[in-house]
Chains A and B, each alone.
Chain A
Amino acid sequence: MDGAFVQAIKLLISLDKETYFIAGTSLRFALSSTLLSAIISLPIGVLLGLSNFRGRRSIIAVLNTLMAMPTVVIGLFVYSLISRQGSLGYLGLLFNPPAIIIGQTVLAFPIIASMVNTSIGRLDGNLRETLVTLGAGRTRIFFTILWEARFSLVTALLAGFGRVIGEVGVSMMLGGNIRWWTRTITTTISLETSKGQFELALALGIVLMVIAFIVNFITHWTVKHES
């Protein structure tokens, strides 16, 4: 095992092409799905945080439940949609990068939407009235509110990113762990470990730890800045 660790370090230092390709693929998928999820969940989170319509509480309860949904279950749902027999099967997405991105977007959505709702709800109640009285229109109000909650929003996005970069269920079920195509950090670790080949798994484990550290560092910094 000690030898494997040394080998792993060597892989990282020697800028091994496959190691960094896999890490790059993981980052690409995670960033794309976080961005897509942000586009969907920001307006929904703001709407939930600002308005008080009938059914709002139920939606928040559903989001909170979805936050705890196992990744394999989400993988299964999306699989049933995009597999050959599924209603979106004709798009041929299964075992291709878009499949993973869709699955991860679904995974990140409830986390980001729920956290955005909480952070918008925590903003001063006078903010919206202040913007209205100063003559701001709906779009302006939306973006000003996002700006006012920017530190909390960054935290929400990082939480979503953290969830998808470290997941294995969605990537494995929807991506199929295809080399040089849909293989990600977590699916590689899972596969290599089961094969008893620890070098690449350890090297990618270290990369994942570094990413986790950076995400945590930024989260910590934004929370500190916010307070």
Chain B
Amino acid sequence: MKVENIVFRYSSADSGRPALNLELLELPRSGCHALLGPNGCGKTTLLKILAGFLVPESGRVEGNEDGVLVHQHPYLLSASVFNNVAYGLKVRRISKKEIEQRVDAELERWGLSELRNRHCMHLSGGERQRTAIARAMVLNPAILLLDEPTASIDPDNVTHMEGLIDEVIKAGTAVVFSTHHVDFAYRVADSINRMHHGRIVATPENVISGSVVDRDEGFNIFDAAGTRIHCPGRDGDFKRIVFSANDVILLREKINSSARNVLDSTVVSLEAEGQNVIVGLNCGFDFRVRVSSDSAEELKLQSGDNIYALLKSSSIRQY
């Protein structure tokens, strides 16, 4: 999906700051992508543009076909769970038998079989959310757009929602969701797009997936693609570590230091960014480091070079 030079205002009379003003945002049509930001930053507006409900006054949107949006507070039809999930299929004039098979399979997948005939008026917040997701997923969409998926469920069900999103991705559907819930975004999303005042704010961050495999001397040992990273010792089942591209120091030679992580890496890309250079590295997983152009020149960085990356454990956040 590609959103280019989008400007959107809710009222044409509103000549002030637009609700959305994006130069460029590219999201792969696979995996899970978060739009993270405070209320009023334009997340929902962007989702509605991706869903085709809102038309921007300028700019282009590409690759957003076959997306289904699930609202923050989903509207369920005044009917049973079954009939809600079946609605999109009925619209497509699919045979009654096939509708029944597909809906029942979908209800099973989302743990809603027991609620099949229950009227939606009698569902809890979490059940409503699951019904809305099942109703969208029964259509096998290419993209599922979720507006604040954790907003109408209690904190205990947030972990459950993470599982639901994993399930959607396993089914081959890409997920784009908006949230202001930082922990949730980092735990679930493959890419984080921070938004502020209707714009995407560049985040020089590295989000690395993996799991905590050990705890040692007050540190969590996080395994990411075979590389072990020392992280601050905290309890929890963490799935992601995050560190800033500014918090990594590059060294030509390995030295003794207080930093717990010295990552033996290979330079894979070099990209100029004003006075700085973004260095793409791989140490088993890919990550980026921002250095000044002068430093890059002094280190004589080139693609394919072997280099050490120093990362303090205290610079790492775990989700």
Binding site for B on A (CB under 8 A): 124, 126-127, 129-130, 132-137, 140, 144, 147-148
Given A133-B68, A134-B139, A135-B139, A148 and B77 contact (CB-CB distance below 8 Å): yes
Which residue on A lies nearest to B147, using beta carbons? A126
Q: Which of A130, A137, A144 contacts B74 (CB 8 A)?
A: A130
Q: Closest Cβ of chain B: how far from A134's Cβ, in Å?
A: 4
Task: Find chain A residues with CB under 8 A from B75 CB.
Answer: 124, 126-127, 130
Whether B135 is near chain A, meaning CB under 8 Å from some CB there, is yes
Seed contacts A126-B75, A148-B77; 16 additional CB < 8 Å A-B pairs: A124-B75, A126-B73, A126-B74, A129-B69, A129-B71, A130-B71, A130-B75, A132-B53, A133-B53, A133-B136, A135-B92, A136-B91, A140-B91, A144-B77, A147-B77, A148-B78
Contact A134 B135 (CB under 8 A): yes
Whether B238 is near chain A, meaning CB under 8 Å from some CB there, is no
Which residue on B lies nearest to A137, using beta carbons? B91
Contact A134 B91 (CB under 8 A): yes
Contact A129 B53 (CB under 8 A): yes
Whether B125 is near chain A, meaning CB under 8 Å from some CB there, is no
Task: Find chain B residues with CB under 8 A from A127 CB.
Answer: 75
In the bound complex, CA of A210 to CA of B73 (Å) = 44
Contact B87 A134 (CB under 8 A): yes
Which residue on B lies nearest to A140, using beta carbons? B91
Q: How many chain B residues have a CB neighbour from A under 8 Å?
A: 19
Given A126-B74, A148-B78, A133 and B51 contact (CB-CB distance below 8 Å): yes
> What does DSSP make chain A's interface, helix, strand, loop or mixed?
helix
In the bound complex, CA of A130 to CA of B68 (Å) = 9
Task: Find chain B residues with CB under 8 A from A133 CB.
Answer: 51, 53, 68-69, 136
Whether B88 is near chain A, meaning CB under 8 Å from some CB there, is yes
Task: Find chain B residues with CB under 8 A from A148 CB.
Answer: 77-78
CB-CB nearest 4 A-B residue pairs: A134-B88, A126-B75, A126-B71, A130-B75
In the bound complex, CA of A132 to CA of B48 (Å) = 12
> What does DSSP make chain B's interface, helix, strand, loop or mixed?
loop
In the bound complex, CA of A130 to CA of B91 (Å) = 13
Task: Find chain A residues with CB under 8 A from B71 CB.
Answer: 126, 129-130
In the bound complex, CA of A126 to CA of B70 (Å) = 10
CB contacts under 8 Å to A, within B64-101, are 68-69, 71, 73-75, 77-78, 87-88, 91-92
Task: Find chain A residues with CB under 8 A from B139 CB.
Answer: 134-135
Q: Which of A126, A130, A140, A144: most chain B Cβ within 10 A? A: A130
Contact A134 B68 (CB under 8 A): yes
Q: List 20 A-B contacts (CB under 8 A).
A: A124-B75, A126-B71, A126-B74, A126-B75, A127-B75, A129-B51, A129-B53, A130-B74, A133-B53, A133-B68, A134-B68, A134-B88, A135-B88, A135-B91, A135-B139, A136-B87, A147-B77, A147-B78, A148-B77, A148-B78
Task: Find chain A residues with CB under 8 A from B52 CB.
Answer: 132
Q: Which of B71, B74, B135: most chain A Cβ within 10 A? A: B71
In the bound complex, CA of A186 to CA of B73 (Å) = 50
In the bound complex, CA of A129 to CA of B69 (Å) = 9
In the bound complex, CA of A119 to CA of B52 (Å) = 26
Which residue on A lies nearest to B54, using beta carbons? A129
Which residue on B lies nearest to A135, using beta carbons? B91
Task: Find chain A residues with CB under 8 A from B74 CB.
Answer: 126, 130
Q: Closest Cβ of chain A: how far from B140's Cβ, in Å?
A: 12
Q: Closest Cβ of chain A: how far from B259's Cβ, in Å?
A: 49
In the bound complex, CA of A131 to CA of B53 (Å) = 11
Task: Find chain A residues with CB under 8 A from B69 CB.
Answer: 129, 133
Q: Closest Cβ of chain A: how far from B204's Cβ, in Å?
A: 35
Q: Closest Cβ of chain B: how far from A63's Cβ, in Å?
A: 26
Task: Find chain B residues with CB under 8 A from A140 CB.
Answer: 91
